[in-house]
Structure 1
Amino acid sequence: MSTRSFSRGAAAPTLKDLARLAGVSPITASRALHRPELVAESTRLRVQSAAEQSGYVPNSLAGGLTSRQTRLVAAIVPTIGHSLFSDMVGALITALAEARYETTLGISSYDVEHEETWLAAMLSRRPDGVVLTGTEHTMRTRRLLLSADIPVVELWDYIPHPMDAAVGFSQEEAGRAAFHHLRACGYKRPAILRADDSRAQRRAQGFLRAAAELQAPEPVQVVFPEQRPQLGRGREALTALRAKCDHADAVFCSSDALAQGVLAHAHALGLNVPQQLGVMGFGDQALAVDCVPALSTVRIDGANIGRLGAQDLIARMRGGQPEPARDVGFAVIARASTALKS
């Protein structure tokens, strides 16, 4: 098999490029992709390997376009079950529509392998731009995007050197700020209750690092699968924490929804919040202020992230070069659920 490297700025690999890389004719390469039963298994595997190596994506719109522009944007989010992501997506789609771009939306369910499969299918439709949530992707996803050579914006997570452009905030710093808030409120042994997704994990790492920096006891963690139904999560998490560490005096939850469940179960157990247990969420969702007591949390402006992401993507699709990375920050919102202990 011959070799060829692909990088951003080079033309997307064609069927002829793929055939040359696999050491077969273009018609054989096409058959291996579209009618694999007509070629030997060894040939199919060679062509498949070449496609993965080069980032080649079959063009399902071949012959149907009179220009390269499709005015289509492909965007994927982990879920729309959280208002943070739905606010972000709503603002993104609205801003793109105002610029006459249509958006096709995918749901990854926090699975980078599914994101990869979705992306390959979307690139075959030749979108003008791609929006991803987060900065963690498979190597093949990165190769596909480099080979496609179209604008890409990663939302939600901030990193100084993104794949192309990024708009978001530091998950680690949000976790550090949460720990400092709980310590300032007088809590000595705050714990972490979180889902097992990578963003919640990075917030936990920031929380743990802040504890180490202050030479505080290492916070206990209770981790559960993100796919677990929302119903009963707070009860199960608090029950697991009390069995594991009955001296924890505060909890930092990976979402406001989880924190609300913890509050409800704390009330059922007769625990005084915030005196016996401080409760802090993440996201500042609509019901946070209506909890009893009102929920302390970390506020993220998802709608602003969506708007800025759309602006940067539109600028890139029109040939501009806005800043590659924007840190929109976050805010710690102190409410009664972590009121200063007397």
Structure 2
Amino acid sequence: MTKPPKRPLTLRDVSEASGVSEMTVSRVLRNKGDVSEATRKRVQTAAKTLGYVPNKIAGALASQRVNLVAVIIPSLGNMVFPEVLAGISETLDDTELQPVVGVTDYSPEKEEKVLFEMLSWRPSGVIIAGLEHSDASRAMLSQAGIPVVEIMDVDGDPIDTCVGISHRRAGRKMAEEILAAGFRRIGFLGTKMPLDHRARKRFEGFTRTLGKEGVEIADQEFYSGGSALAKGREMTEAMLNRTPDIDFLYFSNDMIGAGGLLYLLEKGIDIPGQIGLAGFNGVELLQGLPRKLATMDACRREIGQKAAEIIAARQEDNASDEPVLIELSPKIEFGDTLRRG
């Protein structure tokens, strides 16, 4: 269904919503002039509710747009996102558009701040990771009047267009293969879920599929912080000490999975005869491990490419602004740690 076209909000919109003059609104938003605290709060509340972002280039360009694409991701330390950025960059190389990156650290509050600053420069489009945002962020994105492409995930309600994979389906597929290979005492090791929505959805798809076959997670270990080999070793050791009859370890990402693999090899454990393993993301850096870790490619570069193609296409005069959902299909790589069922 085609969504109604949006126009950028103006001072007049905030003025009408707050019941004060445009001049007063301007003073409050620029933090200038003598304005009562009650009026200041009324204007700020109205602006936040509407999703208003000030235009820092108003009057400078006839188009009211700069040739920048705001790319907002949760982390640069996570090895997933550099490949997404590479796909975006190589696609935009053939255009006049230039990506500019903002990092949120998986924080909804920081995402609001990054969005506010980036949208104030009136970019030509936004590429943002994930479908879950605060009300303020959704309002800003909805009212920006520019193409918005949410990436990495399709399990949710996109604001405009989204490109990604179904993480629930990814979790389900991995569970099906693990069960088909005969494993039943399965442990899950991963990041804490409240802010990592995609890992949470994979976990949901994984556990629901196990449950349909009468299998429950035998043990689980969660952590806060970035993905790391040392963390994977530590978590694997803790789980095996707690639940020594585990026969499969499913990691929420490849980096901790690699740490677990190295720990098991060090202990002389037969893989996958005694314990099988699988991760997620298909990180190429790990191809040099003593054993090839089973994983699932998250289509990272292709996601970046397609998102950038959509933004570039929307710049054409006759371009359609109809929302699009592009779901890619990741494939399981069995490697040396998961038997084929």
TM norm structure 1: 0.92
The one-letter code of the counterpart of 1:233 is K
Q: Which residue of 1 aligns with 2:245?
A: 247
Residues 107, 307 of structure 1: alpha-carbon distance in 2 compared, 3 angstrom cutoff:
same
Q: Aligned pair 1:300/2:298, yes or no?
A: yes
In the alignment, is the contact (CA less than 8 A) between 2:174 and 2:206 conserved in 1? yes
Q: Which residue of 1 aligns with 2:282?
A: 284
Shift of 1:79: 1.7
Q: Which residue of 2 aligns with 1:325?
A: 325
Q: Which residue of 1 aligns with 2:201?
A: 202
1:61 match: secondary structure: coil
Separation of aligned partners in 2, 1:241 and 1:315 = 49
Shift of 1:135: 0.8
* Correspondent of 1:144 among 140, 146, 149: 140
Residues 229, 310 of structure 1: alpha-carbon distance in 2 compared, 3 angstrom cutoff:
closer
Residues 99, 219 of structure 1: alpha-carbon distance in 2 compared, 3 angstrom cutoff:
farther
Q: Which residue of 1 aligns with 2:216?
A: 217
Q: Aligned pair 1:42/2:38, yes or no?
A: yes
1:223 match: secondary structure: strand
Shift of 1:287: 3.6
Q: Which residue of 2 aligns with 1:259?
A: 257
* Correspondent of 1:314 among 312, 323, 327: 312
Shift of 1:87: 1.0
Separation of aligned partners in 2, 1:116 and 1:247 = 45
1:12-44 alpha-carbon deviations (Å, 9 max, x no partner): 221122122111111111111112562111111
Separation of aligned partners in 2, 1:87 and 1:340 = 28
Which range moves more in the overlay, 294-303 or 202-211? 294-303
Q: Which residue of 2 aligns with 1:95?
A: 91
Shift of 1:105: 0.5
Q: Which residue of 2 aligns with 1:238?
A: 236
Q: Aligned pair 1:33/2:50, yes or no?
A: no
Shift of 1:116: 1.4
2:282 match: secondary structure: coil
Shift of 1:291: 1.9
Which range moves more in the overlay, 163-172 or 106-115? 106-115
The one-letter code of the counterpart of 1:296 is A
In the alignment, is the contact (CA less than 8 A) between 1:211 and 1:219 conserved in 2? no
Residues 214, 278 of structure 1: alpha-carbon distance in 2 compared, 3 angstrom cutoff:
same
1:57-105 alpha-carbon deviations (Å, 9 max, x no partner): 1111122112233221101112233333211111112212312101110
Residues 323, 24 of structure 1: alpha-carbon distance in 2 compared, 3 angstrom cutoff:
closer
In the alignment, is the contact (CA less than 8 A) between 1:166 and 1:326 conserved in 2? yes
1:178-225 alpha-carbon deviations (Å, 9 max, x no partner): 111112222111111111222111111111011011111334321111
Equivalent positions of 1:145-164 (< 5 A) are 145-159=141-155, 162-164=158-160
In the alignment, is the contact (CA less than 8 A) between 2:252 and 2:279 conserved in 1? yes
Q: Which residue of 2 aligns with 1:133?
A: 129
The one-letter code of the counterpart of 2:233 is R
1:136-195 alpha-carbon deviations (Å, 9 max, x no partner): 111111111111121100111124752111111110111111111112222111111111
1:109 match: secondary structure: coil
Q: What is the Cα-based RMSD across aligned positions, in Å?
A: 2.0
Which range moves more in the overlay, 123-132 or 110-119? 110-119
Q: Which residue of 2 aligns with 1:123?
A: 119
The one-letter code of the counterpart of 1:62 is A
1:240 match: secondary structure: helix
Shift of 1:261: 0.4
Shift of 1:323: 6.2
The one-letter code of the counterpart of 1:306 is G
The one-letter code of the counterpart of 1:262 is G
Gaps of 5+ in 2: none
Residues 228, 289 of structure 1: alpha-carbon distance in 2 compared, 3 angstrom cutoff:
closer
Q: Which residue of 2 aligns with 1:3?
A: none
1:216-263 alpha-carbon deviations (Å, 9 max, x no partner): 1334321111x2562521122112312443222111111111111001
TM norm structure 2: 0.92
Shift of 1:313: 1.8
